Amino acid sequence: MTALFRFCGPLGDLSAGDRRLLVERSRAPHTGIRERTAVILRRVRADGDSALLALARELDGVSLAALEVPRHMWRAALAELTPGLVRAMQRAARNIRTAHEAQRPQPSEVEVEPGVIVGRRPDPLHRVGLYAPGGRAAYPSSLLMAAIPARVSRVHEIIVCSPPTPRGVPSPAVLAAAELAGVDRVFAAGGAGAIAAMAYGTTTVPRVDRIVGPGNAYVTEAKLQVASIVGIDCPAGPSELLIVADATATPDIVAREVLAQAEHDPDTAVVVVAIGSATGAAVVSAVSTLLPGATRRAIIQAALAARGGVVTVDSLPDAIEFANKWAPEHLLLSVADPGAAFTQVRNAGTVCLGESSSVAFGDYMTGANHVLPTGGLARSYSGLSTLDFVRWTTYQRVERGAAIRLARDVATFADAEGLAAHAGAASHWASLAERSPSEEGGEA
The CB density around residue 221, as the number of other CB atoms within 10 Å, is: 25
Indicate the residue type of 385: S
Residue 303 to residue 268: CA distance in whole angstroms: 6
Q: What is the DSSP string of 157-171?
A: EEEEEE---TTSS--
Angle between helices 316-326 and 16-23 (to 10 degrees): 70
Longest dimension (CA), the chain: 89
329 catalytically annotated: yes
Point out the catalytic residue in the list 264, 329, 355, 370: 329
Burial of 416 (0-12, 13-18, 19+ CB in 10 A): exposed
Q: Name beta bridge partners: 118.
A: 110, 396
Q: Assess contact for 132 and 139: CB atoms under 8 A.
A: yes
Residue 258 to residue 243: CA distance in whole angstroms: 8
**What phi and psi, each to the nearest 5 degrees, are found at residue 332?**
-105, 120
Polymer length in residues for the chain: 444
**H or E stretch at 91:** helix 83-101
The CB density around residue 5, as the number of other CB atoms within 10 Å, is: 24
Point out the catalytic residue in the list 100, 264, 330, 370: 330
Q: Assess contact for 196 and 225: CB atoms under 8 A.
A: no
Say whether 92 sits in a helix, a strand or coil. helix
Q: What is the DSSP string of 332-349?
A: EEESS-HHHHHTT--S-S
Residue 407 to residue 420: CA distance in whole angstroms: 13
156 catalytically annotated: no
C-alpha neighbours within 13 Å on the C-beta side of residue 437: 1
Q: Where are the beta strands (DSSP E) in 213-337?
A: 231-232, 240-245, 269-275, 309-313, 330-334
Residue 235 to residue 221: CA distance in whole angstroms: 8
Q: Identify the CA nearest to 195 among candidates 137, 136, 133, 143.
A: 133
**What phi and psi, each to the nearest 5 degrees, are found at residue 294?**
-75, 135
Say whether 370 sits in a helix, a strand or coil. coil
Q: Among all residues, which ones are annotated catalytic? A: 329-330
